[in-house]
């Protein structure tokens, strides 16, 4: 429903006095009447919030009319695109947290038949079973095209399928909610050597095909799409990621980076390497080599990359991530399973340096991003040509997710720009919040 329709509904439901309503809002009655009739837009989100307050709407009802206002303002396509990207961020933040063991799902091939499968459990059972079957093929290859609604299936498979089996994944962003409400379409598809499975966004229904002609037709169509895109995810070693990041910086014009906690390598000096050596656990793979990589990357960052690109390279981090580091001593780009928490003295040193870094660089900003966990070790980089995600886990495994289709890159850029516009703190407030964390550490010392 549009904002005008929702307002009409609640006004009638609550038998609202229009004169008093207009006076509360600080606008004349004729203006309010035009907004309710849909003849003119609401002037601001603040005005819509005041409407909700006067009408005594619940939190869910308030969210509903604010979303309606945003749709009226920016259009349904952009609104739902941003919503889907936020859902993607939630899943990508936990890309290596899934622990579904696909290999345990292997069954007799004869049990799968061409049919309509109904119910989330049955649909996801088919998806995992198809992965299992494909592992037994001589030349395995899984092709998937899916919207970023239920990315856990993709991320589960990424963690557990054989490293030798490629998984080619395309995804698209759709602004239509009708597809999932009535299950009229099957917009997602998994293609293996012998099967095609199409399924709904909410995983409530799917159709399995075994006929070779159908399977081959889907493969041809998918490969045609793939000519305009690239493989979605790859694996990497944790000990190589700094070198890989430096290579990425050297070959792309990076404009934005999103993370949760402050990034220590951006403020490191030679004297700080002892902090890393002290914090890293003894079983950390190639410990000294990794510390040397940190030193090389810090030198590269401080003396080559950032001096040249500080005017266009925006770093966005979160308040909950900053507080997490101050409270626990864990850092954004270091998995807690591999490192001991920093001592209070080391926390104070690094966060103090981070404050100076943020104060002297206007393109470093703090923003609210509740869909990213405070302990996240996933970070996101955006260039003019690609959107790049690096997620790590305790085993030294990295998931590198690269999106290079230009319209999707533009969609992510729009999303991040909107986050900064709506949720970024002012520099003054940012400094106050960092000072609060510094004082919290001092009290614990």
**C-alpha closest to that of 242 among 333, 377, 340, 358:** 333
Q: Helices 344-360 & 319-328, crossing angle to 10 degrees? A: 150
Buried b (16+ CB within 10 A) or exposed e, 66-88: bebbbbbeeeeebbbbbbbbbbb
- pLDDT the model gives residue 49: 93
User: Residue 143 is encoded by which pair of tokens?
Assistant: 């092709």
User: Residue 54 is encoded by which pair of tokens?
Assistant: 């006067």
- pLDDT the model gives residue 285: 64
**C-alpha closest to that of 45 among 21, 77, 74, 17:** 74
Backbone φ and ψ for 331, nearest 5 degrees, come out as -115, 160
**C-alpha closest to that of 115 among 207, 212, 211:** 207
Q: How far is CA 212 from the centre of its chain?
A: 37
- pLDDT the model gives residue 147: 67
Q: What strands, in cross-sheet order, belong to the sheet with 188-191?
A: 115-118, 205-209, 196-199, 188-191, 142-145, 167-170
- pLDDT the model gives residue 55: 93
User: Residue 126 is encoded by which pair of tokens?
Assistant: 């088919």
> Alpha-carbon Rg of the chain, whole angstroms?
25
User: Residue 258 is encoded by which pair of tokens?
Assistant: 């999103």
- pLDDT the model gives residue 182: 39
- pLDDT the model gives residue 106: 42
Rounded Cα–Cα distance for residues 67 and 89 (Å)? 19
- pLDDT the model gives residue 25: 93
Report the DSSP beta bridge partners of residue 316: 258, 365
**0.75 exceeded by the pTM?**
no
Per residue, the 3-state secondary structure of the chain, as one string, reads: CCHHHHHHHHHHHCCCCHHHHHHHHCCCHHHHHHHHHCCCCCCCHHHHHHHHHHCCCCHHHHHHHHHHHHHHHHCHHHHHHHHHHHHHHHHHCCCCCCCCCHHHHCCCHHHCCCEEEECHHHHHHHHHHHHHHHHCCCCCCEEEECCCCCCHHHHHHHHHCCCCCCEEEECCCCCCCHHHHCCCCCCEEEECCCCEEEECCCCCEEEEECCHHHHHHHHHHHHHHHCCCCCCEEEEEHHHHHHHHHHHHHHCCEEEEECCCCCHHHCCCHHHHHHHHHHECCCCCCHHHHHHHHHHHHHHHHHHHHHHHCCCCEEEEEHHHHHHHHHHCCCCCCCCCCECCCCHHHHHHHHHHHHHHHHHCCCEEEECCCCCCCCCCCEEEEECCCEEEEEECCCCEEEEEEECCHHHHHHHHHHHHHHHHHHECCHHHHHHHHHHHHHHHHHHC
- List, for the chain, all residue ranges whose pLDDT scores fall below the cut of 70: 94-111, 147-166, 171-186, 228-241, 283-285, 332-338, 392-399
Pairing between β-strand 397-403 and β-strand 387-392 as defined by DSSP bridges:
antiparallel
């Amino acid at each position: 429903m549009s904002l005008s329709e929702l307002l009409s509904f609640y006004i009638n439901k609550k038998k609202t006095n229009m004169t008093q309503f207009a006076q509360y809002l600080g606008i004349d009655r004729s203006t309010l009447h035009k907004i309710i009739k849909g003849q003119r837009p609401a002037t601001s989100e603040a005005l819509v919030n005041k409407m909700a307050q006067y009408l005594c709407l619940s939190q869910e009802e308030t969210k509903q009319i604010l979303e309606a206002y945003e749709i009226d303002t920016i259009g349904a396509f952009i609104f739902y695109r941003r919503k889907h990207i936020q859902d993607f961020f939630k899943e990508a933040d936990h890309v290596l947290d899934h622990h579904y063991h696909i290999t345990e799902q292997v069954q007799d091939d004869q049990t799968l038949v061409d049919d309509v499968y109904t119910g989330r459990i049955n649909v996801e059972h088919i998806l995992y079973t198809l992965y299992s079957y494909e592992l037994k093929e001589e030349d395995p290859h899984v092709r998937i095209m899916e919207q970023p609604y239920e990315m856990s299936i993709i991320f589960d498979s990424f963690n557990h399928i054989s490293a030798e089996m490629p998984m080619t994944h395309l995804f698209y962003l759709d602004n239509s909610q009708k597809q999932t409400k009535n299950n009229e379409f099957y917009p997602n598809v998994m293609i293996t050597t012998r099967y095609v499975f199409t399924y709904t966004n909410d995983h409530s229904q799917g159709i399995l095909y075994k006929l070779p002609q159908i399977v081959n037709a889907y493969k041809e169509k998918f490969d045609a799409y793939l000519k305009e895109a690239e493989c979605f995810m790859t694996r990497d070693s944790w000990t190589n990621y700094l070198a890989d990041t430096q290579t990425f910086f050297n070959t792309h014009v990076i404009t934005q980076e999103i993370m949760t906690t402050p990034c220590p390598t951006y403020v490191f000096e030679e004297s700080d390497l002892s902090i890393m050596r002290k914090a890293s656990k003894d079983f950390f793979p190639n410990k000294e080599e990794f510390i040397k990589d940190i030193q090389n990357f810090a030198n590269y960052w401080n003396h080559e990359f950032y001096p040249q690109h500080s005017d266009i390279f925006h770093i966005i981090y979160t308040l909950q991530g900053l507080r997490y580091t101050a409270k626990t001593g864990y850092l954004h780009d270091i998995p807690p399973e591999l490192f001991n928490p920093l001592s209070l003295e080391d926390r104070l040193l690094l966060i103090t340096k981070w404050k100076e870094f943020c104060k002297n660089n206007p393109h470093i900003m703090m923003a609210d991003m509740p869909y990213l966990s405070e302990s996240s070790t996933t970070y996101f980089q955006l260039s003019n040509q690609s959107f790049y995600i690096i997620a790590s886990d305790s085993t030294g495994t990295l998931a590198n997710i690269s999106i290079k289709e230009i319209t999707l890159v533009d969609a992510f850029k729009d999303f991040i720009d909107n986050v900064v516009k709506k949720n970024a703190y002012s520099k003054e407030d940012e400094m106050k919040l960092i000072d609060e964390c510094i004082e919290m550490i001092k009290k614990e010392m």
